[in-house]
Amino acid sequence: MKALITGITGQDGAYLTRLLIEKGYEVHGTIRRSSTVNTKRIDDILSKYEKTGGLTLHYSDLLDSASTSSLINNITPDEVYNLAAQSHVAVSFENPVYTTQVGTLGSVSILEAIRSANKDIKYYQASSSEMYGGNSKDKLNEDSKFSPKSPYAASKVFAHNMTTIYRQSYGIHAVNGILFNHESPVRGETFVTRKITKAVGRISQGIQSKLTLGNLDAVRDWGFAGDFVEGMWLMMQHKEPEDWVLATGIPCSVKEFLDKAFNLIDLNWSDYVEVSESYFRPNEVDYLLGDYSKAKKELNWEPKTSLDDLVQMMVDNDIHEAKQESVLLKEGLIEPTWENPVSK
- Domain boundaries defined on the chain: 2-183+222-246
- Annotate 17-75 with three-state secondary structure: HHHHHHCCCEEEEEECCCCCCCCHHHHHHHHHHCCCCCEEEEECCCCCHHHHHHHHHHH
| DSSP class of 146 | P
20: pLDDT confidence band, cut at 50, 70 and 90? very high
* Cα dihedral sign, 148-196-221-242: positive
Q: Point out the residues that are catalytic.
A: 128, 130, 152
Query: Regarding predicted confidence, which is higher, 284 or 308?
Result: 308
* Separation between Cα atoms, residue 234 and residue 204, nearest integer Å: 39
33 pLDDT above the threshold of 80: no
Range 230-234, long-range pairs (CB < 8 A, 24+ positions): 230/19, 230/301, 231/177, 231/179, 231/295, 231/299, 231/301, 232/12, 232/16, 232/81, 232/124, 232/126, 232/177, 233/16, 233/19, 233/20, 233/23, 234/295, 234/299, 234/300, 234/301
Contact 1, 26 (CB under 8 A): yes
50: pLDDT confidence band, cut at 50, 70 and 90? confident
Phi, psi for residue 127 in degrees, rounded to 5: -85, 175
Residues 232-265 have pLDDT tens digits of 999 999 999 999 999 999 999 999 999 999 999 9
Query: Structure pTM?
Result: 0.94
35 pLDDT above the threshold of 50: no
* Separation between Cα atoms, residue 123 and residue 17, nearest integer Å: 16
Mean per-residue pLDDT, 309-325: 98
Burial class (CB in 10 A: 0-12, 13-18, 19+), 117: middle
Q: Residue 144 CA to chain centroid, in angstroms? A: 21
Contact 123, 82 (CB under 8 A): yes
Residues 154-207 have pLDDT tens digits of 999 999 999 999 999 999 999 999 999 999 999 999 899 999 999 999 999 999
* Separation between Cα atoms, residue 39 and residue 281, nearest integer Å: 29
Q: What pLDDT shows up at residue 344? A: 58
Query: Regarding predicted confidence, which is higher, 86 or 18?
Result: 18
Residues in CB range of 168: below 8 A, 6 or more apart: none
Residues 86-138 have pLDDT tens digits of 767 777 777 888 888 888 889 999 999 999 999 999 999 999 999 999 888 99
Of the candidates 74, 130, 147, which has an alpha carbon nearest to the alpha carbon of residue 247? 130
- The dotted CATH code for 2-183+222-246 is 3.40.50.720
316: pLDDT confidence band, cut at 50, 70 and 90? very high
Contact 304, 227 (CB under 8 A): yes
Of the candidates 66, 83, 85, which has an alpha carbon nearest to the alpha carbon of residue 123? 83
Residues in CB range of 317: below 8 A, 6 or more apart: 185, 197, 201
**C-alpha Rg value of the chain to the nearest Å:** 20
Side chain identity at residue 240, one-letter code: E
Contact 250, 189 (CB under 8 A): no
37: pLDDT confidence band, cut at 50, 70 and 90? low
